[in-house]
Amino acid sequence: MKLKKMLYAGTFDPITSGHLDIIKRAAELADVLVVGVLTNSSKRCHFTLEERLEMIDIAVAGIDGVVVDSFGGLLADYAKDNNVDAVVRGLRATMDFEYELQMAQMNARLTGGEAETLFLMTDPKYSFVSSSLIKEVFFLGGEIKGLVPDEVYDYMCLHRKETK
Amino acid sequence: MKLKKMLYAGTFDPITSGHLDIIKRAAELADVLVVGVLTNSSKRCHFTLEERLEMIDIAVAGIDGVVVDSFGGLLADYAKDNNVDAVVRGLRATMDFEYELQMAQMNARLTGGEAETLFLMTDPKYSFVSSSLIKEVFFLGGEIKGLVPDEVYDYMCLHRKETK
Amino acid sequence: MKLKKMLYAGTFDPITSGHLDIIKRAAELADVLVVGVLTNSSKRCHFTLEERLEMIDIAVAGIDGVVVDSFGGLLADYAKDNNVDAVVRGLRATMDFEYELQMAQMNARLTGGEAETLFLMTDPKYSFVSSSLIKEVFFLGGEIKGLVPDEVYDYMCLHRKETK
Amino acid sequence: MKLKKMLYAGTFDPITSGHLDIIKRAAELADVLVVGVLTNSSKRCHFTLEERLEMIDIAVAGIDGVVVDSFGGLLADYAKDNNVDAVVRGLRATMDFEYELQMAQMNARLTGGEAETLFLMTDPKYSFVSSSLIKEVFFLGGEIKGLVPDEVYDYMCLHRKETK
Amino acid sequence: MKLKKMLYAGTFDPITSGHLDIIKRAAELADVLVVGVLTNSSKRCHFTLEERLEMIDIAVAGIDGVVVDSFGGLLADYAKDNNVDAVVRGLRATMDFEYELQMAQMNARLTGGEAETLFLMTDPKYSFVSSSLIKEVFFLGGEIKGLVPDEVYDYMCLHRKETK
Amino acid sequence: MKLKKMLYAGTFDPITSGHLDIIKRAAELADVLVVGVLTNSSKRCHFTLEERLEMIDIAVAGIDGVVVDSFGGLLADYAKDNNVDAVVRGLRATMDFEYELQMAQMNARLTGGEAETLFLMTDPKYSFVSSSLIKEVFFLGGEIKGLVPDEVYDYMCLHRKETK
């Protein structure tokens, strides 16, 4: 058997319905899908690492073969240290594509080709969804129901005061 | 085990070094990789189906788990009839991307989501290689050694008179 | 009142659910929306002009303010001769965008700025739909229900033998 | 009558000749065009809200049907609260396009489809003009005459000391 | 002295104002600029080779250092055989860019790096001008004055009957 | 002789193998190639101006006709003050392209057309290399040998403690 462990990494600030769609589809392809939360991204996050992990946990509950983890340092190092066979990424649009191409080529180099990067196309109905746009809309009082998993929506509403 | 059979489809007129790179990497991901030659593409081919199959056979000899086949009709039908778990595609550039996105979404619809489309980034050193450019250069007397697998290069030189 | 008459032109070979979505939204913006079928496009059409007009007629039945017409020659000339205030176009993706930009600038020049070009974004759920892809799938036996208006789907199935 | 009120929103820091071109063309399409200055954009502005409003006022003086306003919160909320029929946006290039597509789809969702987003292509002669590039050039002593409306140019020169 | 001879190649069917702008600017950079008309392009031309050469001759009359030539075969072979130091190309838009990147990399390979490819950005006021769009508009009776050099415009009007 | 002095400007934080490739190829085209380090870029640099100049000096040692300089203010002013005939830029991908187009058009305007902007395509093997990605990988302990010139690599390793 060849594709045992895949990694889906990001800041997930917060996890969106688009992320969850990729997770469900990627979990069909490998025995284990690690959802890996980056702890040292240059992006400043709104939610704490604990909140982001908590939201992912409630979103992926019930999907077989999904493991949630967090890590700092290089994605390529994490992949090598944990026998990751492939890194999975969602592609939305041309701008994603250029950046993703650059990262995939750098990671191929850093892992010596051991970890392949696989891209899945985002479902068109989530093509306009991003964590940053969701946060902007949410904190200005706009309705985001359906753009994040339902349980994450409840979590965000409940924690709105504390997290703001 | 989840990712058993993958399909890499195209006209392969002729198979290039870029195609072979994708085949080698995809063969690492699944138990069986079917290289499927399209027989009813709207693209007019220079090489006959037999020639294209012959060139693929000599190029993939020695790569474990690769099977060569040909088919007409819809890729989605072939995928469903043959229990294909995922279709693999190489991505080179923005223009590829738009077209590939469209095809991936149509195929997701036609297979009822049974066959996922996986994208691998083309190695940058083959980013300018396409079958049509190779043919144009070759038949105007330009040097294409290295842009197609070596055995395919020899085949093309040998068959130049007959195929022209 | 300023935006009286708009034009939505194309070959509509056949009209798709994406076209119909633009027609419905554009009809909300002007008093009259002319759906104009091009008779001398360089694109070779599968359906005759009569068939294309018939399919549009059944698709737009019941939408207020929509008129169906056909014309040859320059779109800019038709726009000037018929007091068209604006031309409406649907945008799907980057490749559309480049071409549409070119046409909009040429038409601005040819109409002396009298007819503005307005762009509406295609609904993401139709972003992978094009007339040519629909024809390819349909004539290879694939399911296209939902990608064209229901009445157009019935029409295509009924006329399949005759039109092939 | 259908297209009564349109909204053209931005930070206008400062208003450029490209903005003014869109305003003039959009004012031809609706009875009222609201130029809406965003007060809570994440972009840090060089000019104060008062200065930006003042520059817009002198630039749009004499164009019929143009109203200048400012607002915080979600554009979608402003559009719904003020019976805006359509939001107008200028498109310059591919990078604009991706972002604009995302915003248009989010706004369609937030307004329940009540406010359509209309795109106008930027005149090619202003395709390289942006507020941020103009500020960079201006404050390094470069000549920007013609890239902003003449009255805005005079205003900027006069207020250079105070605003720096 | 380093940049002695440059090549600007194309079908020029017909030469446009955008082409002429590139020719004038490129002629400033090298001692000799060869305008090279391709005789075996896969594109079907409307004008004969003689007509295309004639139009270029009248358009470039009076620009120092410009030589007009035609050639078949590979551009890379022509460049090597004629001691061309660099090939110049005009860039209009993203779609141009992808294709041009592919050709530049193939030509770098075929000339062994002897002929560099230099790109100049098209003047924005010609960004929507292409030979094929000009022909389409012209033969449908649209006004193209200004989009081709004035002498070429006169030539096209005079030869309209014969060339149609 | 026409192309005497060219300028290649940037922050070079640090100079990469991709930069060096452009420098070598550009030095073949003009008598003098000025590598100009920007001192007032809005980008915050990791390395000091002195360090960046030092790394460029060791990287370009031995390439004929290359001069290293630094400047503040507008690139267009530097070009005019120093009789620069052309500015050279490397192009990697679509996103570069849009930004570069904007800058080239602004600079054409600011120099009154005196300094042309020439673009060279980045070698595909450096297409994923950027200073910012190199820094991110390097300071997280990833291997960047080959992505920067060898002497720059040694310099970075030696100065790692001090610069961090």
For residue D79, count other CB atoms closer than 10 A to its CB: 27
User: Which residues fall within 8 angstroms of residue E124, CB to CB, at 6 or more apart?
Assistant: D124, D125, D127, D128, F105
**Partner residue facing E30 (CB), from F2, F108, F117:** F2
Collect all residues of chain A within an 8 Å Cβ-Cβ radius of residue D95.
Answer: 95
- Predicted confidence band of residue C63 (pLDDT cuts 50, 70, 90): very high
| Domains of chain B in sequence order | 3-162 (3.40.50.620)
Q: What is the pLDDT, as a whole number, of residue E106? A: 87
- Predicted confidence band of residue F88 (pLDDT cuts 50, 70, 90): very high
- Phi/psi at C90 (5° precision): -95, 140
Q: Which helix (H) or strand (E) holds A17?
A: helix A17-27
Tens digits of pLDDT across chain E (164 residues):
578 999 999 999 999 999 999 999 999 999 999 999 999 866 789 999 999 999 999 999 999 999 999 999 999 999 999 999 999 999 886 667 777 888 888 888 888 888 999 999 988 889 889 999 999 999 999 999 999 999 999 999 998 755 44
Q: Does B109 touch chain F (CB under 8 A)?
A: no
B2 is catalytic: no
Q: Does residue E36 contact residue E70 with C-beta atoms inside 8 Å? A: yes
Q: Does residue A51 contact residue A160 with C-beta atoms inside 8 Å? A: no
Q: Does residue D16 contact residue D129 with C-beta atoms inside 8 Å? A: yes
In the predicted structure, residue D48 carries a pLDDT above the cut 50: yes
In the predicted structure, residue B164 carries a pLDDT above the cut 50: no
Q: Does B95 touch chain C (CB under 8 A)?
A: yes
User: Which residues fall within 8 angstroms of residue F145, CB to CB, at 6 or more apart?
Assistant: F153
Interchain pair C101, D121: CB under 8 A: yes
Interchain pair F127, B124: CB under 8 A: yes
- Smallest CA-to-CA distance from F35 within F2, F11, F62 is with F11
In the predicted structure, residue A162 carries a pLDDT above the cut 70: no
**Mean per-residue pLDDT for C48-72?**
97
Tell me what the pLDDT averaged over chain A comes to: 91
Among all residues of chain E, which has the CA nearest to that of D121?
E128
Tokens linked to D77: 């909320």
Give A112's strand partners. none
Beta-sheet pairing, A116-121 with B5-10: unpaired
CA distance C156 to chain D (A): 30
Number of residues that make up chain D: 164
Q: Dihedral of the CA atoms B29, B32, B35, B38 (nearest 10)? A: -120
Amino acid sitting at position E148: V
- Farthest-apart Cα atoms in chain F, separation: 49
Q: What is the pLDDT, as a whole number, of residue A156? A: 96
Q: What is the pLDDT, as a whole number, of residue F161? A: 59
Say what percent of chain F tops pLDDT 90: 71
Helices B150-158 and B49-60 cross at an angle (nearest 10°) of 150
Q: Does D113 touch chain A (CB under 8 A)?
A: no
Higher-pLDDT residue of D23, C103: D23
Q: Does residue C120 contact residue D117 with C-beta atoms inside 8 Å? A: yes
- For A22-70, the pLDDT digits (tens) are 999 999 999 999 999 999 866 789 999 999 999 999 999 999 999 999 9
- Phi/psi at A118 (5° precision): -110, 135
Task: Give A73-77's long-range contacts (Cβ < 8 A, gap of 24+).
Answer: A73/A40, A73/F140, A73/F141, A74/A110, A74/F137, A74/F140, A74/F141, A74/F142, A75/A7, A75/A9, A75/A36, A75/A38, A75/A107, A76/A106, A76/A107, A76/A110, A76/A111, A76/A115, A76/F142, A77/A110, A77/F140, A77/F141, A77/F142
Q: Does residue D97 contact residue D91 with C-beta atoms inside 8 Å? A: yes
Q: What is the pLDDT, as a whole number, of residue F1? A: 52
E strands, chain C, in order: 5-10, 32-38, 66-71, 86-91, 116-121
**Mean per-residue pLDDT for F56-70?**
97
User: Which residues fall within 8 angstroms of residue C126, CB to CB, at 6 or more apart?
Assistant: C16, C17, C18, C21, C92, C147
Q: What is the pLDDT, as a whole number, of residue E73? A: 92
Interchain pair E94, B94: CB under 8 A: yes
Amino acid sitting at position A137: V
Q: What is the pLDDT, as a whole number, of residue C95? A: 64
User: Which residues fall within 8 angstroms of residue A73, CB to CB, at 6 or more apart?
Assistant: A40, F140, F141
Chain centroid to Cα E55, Å, comes to: 12
Among all residues of chain E, which has the CA nearest to that of C41?
E136
Q: What is the pLDDT, as a whole number, of residue A56? A: 98
- Predicted confidence band of residue B159 (pLDDT cuts 50, 70, 90): confident
Higher-pLDDT residue of B149, F44: B149
Among all residues of chain B, which has the CA nearest to that of A84?
B29
Chain centroid to Cα A34, Å, comes to: 10
Tokens linked to A6: 């895949």
The lowest-confidence range among A76-80, B158-162, C32-36, E73-77 is: B158-162
User: Which residues fall within 8 angstroms of residue D2, CB to CB, at 6 or more apart?
Assistant: C3, C28, C29, C30, C31, D85
Tell me what the pLDDT averaged over chain C comes to: 91
In the predicted structure, residue A96 carries a pLDDT above the cut 70: yes
Q: Does residue C63 contact residue C24 with C-beta atoms inside 8 Å? A: yes
CA distance A48 to chain B (A): 32
Interchain pair E143, C73: CB under 8 A: no
What pTM, to 2 d.p., does this model score? 0.92
Q: What is the pLDDT, as a whole number, of residue B124? A: 85
Higher-pLDDT residue of D124, A50: A50
- Predicted confidence band of residue D164 (pLDDT cuts 50, 70, 90): very low
Q: What is the pLDDT, as a whole number, of residue C163? A: 45
Catalytic annotation, pick one of B4, B24, B43, B109: B43
Q: Is the dihedral of CA F21, F22, F23, F29 positive or negative?
A: positive
- Smallest CA-to-CA distance from E23 within E149, E138, E140, E141 is with E149
Q: What is the pLDDT, as a whole number, of residue A44? A: 84
- What is the complex's ipTM, to 2 decimals? 0.90
- Phi/psi at B35 (5° precision): -90, 110
Q: What is the pLDDT, as a whole number, of residue E79? A: 95
Q: Is the dihedral of CA D47, D50, D53, D55 positive or negative?
A: negative
In the predicted structure, residue F163 carries a pLDDT above the cut 60: no
Q: Nearest-5° angle of CA D105, CA D111, CA D115?
A: 80
Interchain pair E105, B93: CB under 8 A: no
**Mean per-residue pLDDT for C135-155?**
95
The CA–CA distances, whole Å, from D136 to B58, C126, D140, D157 equal 59, 41, 6, 14
Tell me what the pLDDT averaged over chain F comes to: 91
The lowest-confidence range among C146-160, D30-44, D86-100 is: D86-100
Three-state DSSP at D112 gives coil
Give the separation between CA F100 and CA F105, rounded to whole angstroms: 9
Q: Does residue B66 contact residue B23 with C-beta atoms inside 8 Å? A: yes
Higher-pLDDT residue of F98, C29: C29
- Farthest-apart Cα atoms in chain E, separation: 49
Collect all residues of chain D within an 8 Å Cβ-Cβ radius of residue F101.
Answer: 93, 127-128
Catalytic annotation, pick one of F17, F52, F89, F131: F131
- Predicted confidence band of residue C44 (pLDDT cuts 50, 70, 90): confident
Q: What is the pLDDT, as a whole number, of residue F26? A: 96
- Predicted confidence band of residue F95 (pLDDT cuts 50, 70, 90): low
**Mean per-residue pLDDT for C130-146?**
93
Say what percent of chain B tops pLDDT 70: 94
D-contacting residues of A 13-32, CB under 8 Å? none
Tokens linked to F96: 């570069």
Three-state DSSP at E54 gives helix
Collect all residues of chain A within an 8 Å Cβ-Cβ radius of residue C125.
Answer: 124-125
CA distance A110 to chain F (A): 7
Q: What is the pLDDT, as a whole number, of residue D104? A: 86
Q: Does F141 touch chain A (CB under 8 A)?
A: yes
Higher-pLDDT residue of E35, F106: E35
Q: What is the pLDDT, as a whole number, of residue D101? A: 80
Amino acid sitting at position B79: A
D19-40 b/e with 16+ CB inside 10 Å = b?
bbbbbebbbbbbbbbbbbbbee
Higher-pLDDT residue of B70, D122: B70
In the predicted structure, residue B73 carries a pLDDT above the cut 60: yes
F135 is catalytic: no
F-contacting residues of D 35-94, CB under 8 Å? 93-94
- Phi/psi at F65 (5° precision): 80, 10
